[in-house]
Amino acid sequence: MQTDMMRPLLLLPEMLLVVGALTALLGGSFVPRHRQWIIRVLTAVVLVAVVGTAAVGLAGPTRTAFDDSFTVDTATGAARIIAAVGTLLVLVLAADEIAGAARESEICALLLFGTAGTVLLAGADDLLVLAVGFLLATIPLYGLIGIVSTAAGAEAAVKTYLLGALLGILLLLGVTVLSGLTGSTGYADLTARLADAPPGAVTAAAVALVAGLVFKAGGVPGHFWVPDAAQGANATAATFLTTVPKIGALVAIYRLVGVLPDTVPWPVLVATVAVASMTWGNLAAYWQSDPRRLLGWSTVSQVGFLLVPVVVAGRSDLALPSLLLYLAGYTVTNIAAFAVTAALPDRRDLADYRGLAAQAPWLAAALVVALLGLVGTPPTVVFIGKLTTATAAWDGGHGWLAVVVFANTLISLFYYLRWIVPTYRRPEPGGHPAERSSAVGRWASRTAVTAAAVSLALGLAGGMVWTAVSGP
């Protein structure tokens, strides 16, 4: 590992995101309302630049910055690219919804700030940096969810804020306890000193930290806000909050458990959260009729699948690559599913999708690819993600967890089919009111087709993607 004490260019992607967010926030006050598209273009340019600079850094060796408080390695580089690409797709999807809106520049700024917090979480190698990343990734969500002036949006924003405040306090409590026990906040010092600390106190702090990060990811027990936010927020916020923040949160959990000593039963803790998330999310999604709420519960279940490789962190060489591959696949696939709902904003019931294949065949195809992709059907990339995470669990001595993954994958198929089947049924005579009144959002439709195609392409090129996320 190469150590670079004060090389800020190592954090160039994060700097681009923050500077871009500030420019969008301030610049929106000076750009005329009818030219706010300039801010969107600026935001897109920033995100493309982040992908480029992160890709360059991905090829280099592992390095640290700012007194070893931030690590730039394969996990950080992959998280930067996945988060930036995901936010870029959300921005394109949002064009139908926010173009000319009163809060267009503010939404762009919030997206960039949230993405900056996500990548900061992913590279954090210090508890204080972890706390800052958590806050930076969380606070913009409150604004994004509550930006719609509806009762459902306000309820979702309040619920997210209250849960975020509670679990954020728990996270800060965990930071305080661990730093008090060891006299340091750096992960390297924690690794060396926590073995001699009281196991009970370390375990309590670990539970608090994991609880805060699981809230950010959208898993059990901090999951209650996710379905409400997915249903009550606008499509832009719903797509972003169910996709991008969990990238940083899950990589942060992976790094954190590597610090904990063997005296802390963290594999049991993470495995419990994983099983509870995937099972509860699947069972709750089965009864949903609103497509966005269904996808919200699907998000909770996907967090469970994504936590499986974290259980065997340090016990299987497949753990980190499978996590990063799954995150990449989930990001594009989930965005494709939400983009379909954004393209058809008036269809807020699964029955409203009846006959979609006859009316918009490309959109229907994108929906099928996205939903079967979330199940984990070949040749989509999520199939490879689920296969490699289950293999990692088996390789790490948790074969039972691989069985749970398989069982929950089968359960999830049923509620996704409840959405797919009406799509390919014949339209009702005269058409459903939602079918007659709703126009297809141009940019959201293009995003859905593009993201679904990327999901298939990444699945077909799974070997290349695996090589990229496996590191040097």
DSSP assignment of 143-205: HHHHTS-SHHHHHHHHHHHHHHHHHHHHHHHHHHHHHHHHS--BHHHHHHHGGGS-HHHHHHH
Higher pLDDT, 49 or 30: 49
Residue 312 has what pLDDT?
96
Kindly tell me if the per-residue pLDDT of 394 is higher than 90. yes
Same domain, residue pair 246 and 284 = no
Kindly tell me if the per-residue pLDDT of 28 is higher than 90. no
Max CA pair span of the chain = 73
Same domain, residue pair 224 and 356 = no
Looking at the domain assignment, is residue 76 inside a domain? yes
Looking at the domain assignment, is residue 203 inside a domain? no
Residue 267 has what pLDDT?
94
Same domain, residue pair 242 and 361 = no
Looking at the domain assignment, is residue 238 inside a domain? yes
* Distance in Å from the first CA to the final CA of the chain: 12
Residue 7 has what pLDDT?
62
Give percent of the chain above pLDDT 70.
Answer: 96
How do residues 235-256 score in pLDDT, each as one tens digit? 999 999 999 999 999 999 999 9
For the residues of 92-122, what is the DSSP string, one character each?
Answer: HHHHHHHTT-TTHHHHHHHHHHHHHHHHHHH
Same domain, residue pair 246 and 364 = no
Which helix (H) or strand (E) segment holds residue 65: the answer is: strand 63-65
Same domain, residue pair 362 and 224 = no
Same domain, residue pair 367 and 463 = yes
Q: Does the reported pTM lie above 0.75?
A: yes
Number of domains in the chain: 2
Nearest to 300 by CA among 334, 343, 261, 342: 334
> What is the mean pLDDT of the segment spanning 77-88?
97
Looking at the domain assignment, is residue 266 inside a domain? no
Higher pLDDT, 433 or 101: 101
Same domain, residue pair 378 and 235 = no
How do residues 173-189 score in pLDDT, each as one tens digit? 999 999 999 999 999 99
Residue 323 has what pLDDT?
97
Q: What are 327's two structure tokens? A: 């995150």
Q: What are 442's two structure tokens? A: 């141009």
pLDDT band at 329 (very low <50, low <70, confident <90, very high): very high
What's the one-letter identity of residue 469? V
Looking at the domain assignment, is residue 281 inside a domain? yes
Give percent of the chain above pLDDT 90.
Answer: 80
How do residues 401-411 score in pLDDT, each as one tens digit? 999 999 999 99
Looking at the domain assignment, is residue 167 inside a domain? no
Same domain, residue pair 246 and 393 = no
Same domain, residue pair 238 and 354 = no
Domain that includes residue 147, residue range:
1-155+218-251
Looking at the domain assignment, is residue 169 inside a domain? no
Kindly tell me if the per-residue pLDDT of 438 is higher than 60. no
Measured distance CA(140)–CA(127) in Å, rounded: 21
Same domain, residue pair 241 and 283 = no
Measured distance CA(234)–CA(434) in Å, rounded: 18
Q: Do strands 63-65 and 2-4 pair parallel, antiparallel, or not at all (unpaired)?
A: parallel
Kindly tell me if the per-residue pLDDT of 46 is higher than 90. yes
Looking at the domain assignment, is residue 265 inside a domain? no
Looking at the DSSP bridge assignments, the partners of residue 124 are 70
Kindly tell me if the per-residue pLDDT of 459 is higher than 60. yes
Q: What is the DSSP letter of 126?
A: B
How do residues 111-131 score in pLDDT, each as one tens digit? 999 999 999 999 999 999 999
Measured distance CA(9)–CA(21) in Å, rounded: 18
Same domain, residue pair 399 and 468 = yes
State the chain's mean pLDDT as an integer: 92
Same domain, residue pair 150 and 284 = no
Q: Do strands 63-65 and 70-72 pair parallel, antiparallel, or not at all (unpaired)?
A: antiparallel
